[in-house]
Amino acid sequence: MSARIIDGTAIAAAIREELRPAVEAFSRRAGRPPGLGIVLVGHEPASEIYVRGKLRAGTEAGLWVDLQRLPATASLAEVLALVDRLNASPRHDGILVQDPLPAAMGPGAAQQVFDAIDPRKDVDGFNPASVGRLVQNRPTLAPCTPSGVIEMLDRSEIAMAGARAVIIGRSDIVGKPMAMLLLHHHATVTICHSKTRDLAAVAAEADILVAALGRAAFVTPGFVRPGATVVDVGISRVTDRAEVERLYAPDSPRRATFEKRGSLVVGDVHPDVAAVAGAITPVPGGVGPMTIAMLLKNTLAAATSTAGR
C-alpha cells in the first residue's frame, strides 16, 4: 500500500484563485487593496525565506504587503512602538510579526509583542483575545497553520467528525490551536508531548495523526495505524549526508536534491510511513503552502471587517 499524497501546493493554489475576485471586489469598494504589515527583526535565514514567500504570495494575490524591517539590535520597546504604529494605521488591515525574535530580547518578548497586536488585525491569531475566541469556537482570525490543515483535510474529504485525532506537539502556535480546531470539527482529540507515556502506542490509535514537534523523521511506521491520515507540520533542514542516506533509498529523487543543494528540507514524519498511512502530506509541498494561503485569507477577512466598522 502507498499513501495518497495530499497536495498542499495544489490546494493552496485553488484557495488563492478563490480569493482573487474577493480581493478585487474589496479593492474596488475601498479604493485600496487589503494591507498586510510584516515586521521582520534581524536577518535570521529561515525567517528571511518565509517572509519572501509571504511577500510574493501576497503581492500576487493583489494585496499591498508592507515589510517593516528592524535590525537585530532593536529593543523590545522599538518593536512594540512599531506595532503600535501599525495598529493605528488605516492602511494596514493585518499585522504579522515574524517569529522568532532575536534571543537578546528575552524569552517572553514574542508573547509581549503578540499581546500588543490589535486583535482585529491579528492575522496570525496569537493575541490572547484571538486565542480565547478560538477556544469558544467563534474565531475571526484563527492561526494560519492549523487552519490550513483543516482546509486540507476538508478539501481532501478526510472525515474529521467522530475521528480519533492525535497531535504530537503542544505549542501555542500549532499544537494547541490544532487541537481546538479539530475538536470544533467533532474529532476526539489527544495531545501528546515529551512527557507522554507510550507515545508511539498512543499515536497508533489515531485516525488522523498530526506531527508538529520539529524533530526530523521522528514519526516512524510504528507510530501509525494502517490507513490513517498523517499530517506532517514539521520542517527541518538536514545537511548530514549519513542522515539523508539513512532516510532515503539510493534511487530516491530526494537523494538527487541533496546532491544538488547540499541540504534537504524534511518533516517530522519518516519517509517509510508512506507505506503504512492511507493519506499523507509531503514536506515540502504540504502544510507550508497552506499556511501562506490562510494568511492571505485572514488578511482579506481582517480588511473586510475593518471596512465594515
Domain CATH code at residue 79: 3.40.50.10860
The stretch 243-259 carries a mean pLDDT of 93
Residues 79 and 194 in one domain: no
Is the same domain home to 163 and 198? yes
pLDDT number for residue 204? 98
Same domain, yes or no, for 116 and 163?
no
* Domain shared by 261 and 184, yes or no: yes
Do 159 and 257 fall within a single domain?
Answer: yes
Q: What is the pTM of this model?
A: 0.95
Inside any domain, residue 65: yes
Contacts of 78 (CB under 8 A, 6+ apart): 70
Question: 308 in a domain, yes or no?
Answer: no
Q: What is the mean pLDDT of residues 178-204?
A: 97
**287 membership: H or E segment, kind and range:** helix 287-307
Instruction: Characterize 268-305 residue by residue with b for buried, 16 or more Cβ atoms within 10 angstroms of its Cβ, and e for exposed.
Output: bbbbbbbebbbbbbbbebbbbbbbbbbbbbbbbbbbbe
> What pLDDT shows up at residue 307?
61
Q: Is residue 127 part of a domain?
A: no
- Do 209 and 278 fall into the same domain? yes
Q: Active-site residue 112, yes or no?
A: no
Residue 179 lies in a domain: yes
Give the residue-averaged pLDDT of 137-165: 97
Active site residue 54: yes
Average pLDDT over residues 35-59: 93
Q: Is residue 208 part of a domain?
A: yes
Same domain, 51 and 152: no
Is 300 inside any structural domain? no
The pLDDT of residue 309: 46
Yes or no: say if 4 and 281 are a contact pair by the CB < 8 Å rule: no
**Does the pLDDT of residue 1 top 90, yes or no?**
no
Residue 199 domain boundaries: 144-287
In whole angstroms, give the CA distance from residue 71 to residue 250. Answer: 43
Distance CA 113, CA 101 (A): 10
Mean pLDDT to the nearest integer, 249-273: 94
- For the chain, percent of residues with pLDDT exceeding 90: 94
Catalytic option among 118, 124, 207, 268: 124
pLDDT digits (tens, 9 = 90+) for 99-147: 999 999 998 999 999 999 999 999 999 999 999 999 999 988 999 999 9
Q: Are residues 111 and 162 in the same domain?
A: no
Total number of domains in the chain:
2
Query: Does residue 132 lie in a domain region?
Result: no
151 and 266 inside one domain: yes
Position 273 scores a pLDDT of: 98
* CB atoms inside a 10 Å sphere around CB 59: 13
pLDDT in tens, 220-248: 999 999 999 999 999 999 999 999 999 99
Residue 109 within any structural domain of the chain? yes
Q: Are residues 148 and 116 in the same domain?
A: no
> Domain of 251: which CATH number?
3.40.50.720
**Do residues 240 and 107 share a domain?**
no
Q: How large is the average pLDDT for residues 258-283? A: 96
Separation of alpha carbons 130 and 122, rounded Å:
8
Please indicate, yes or no, whether residues 159 and 264 belong to a single structural domain of this protein: yes
297 carries an active-site annotation: no
Catalytic residue among 98, 176, 207, 232: 98
Residue 49 has pLDDT above 90, yes or no: no
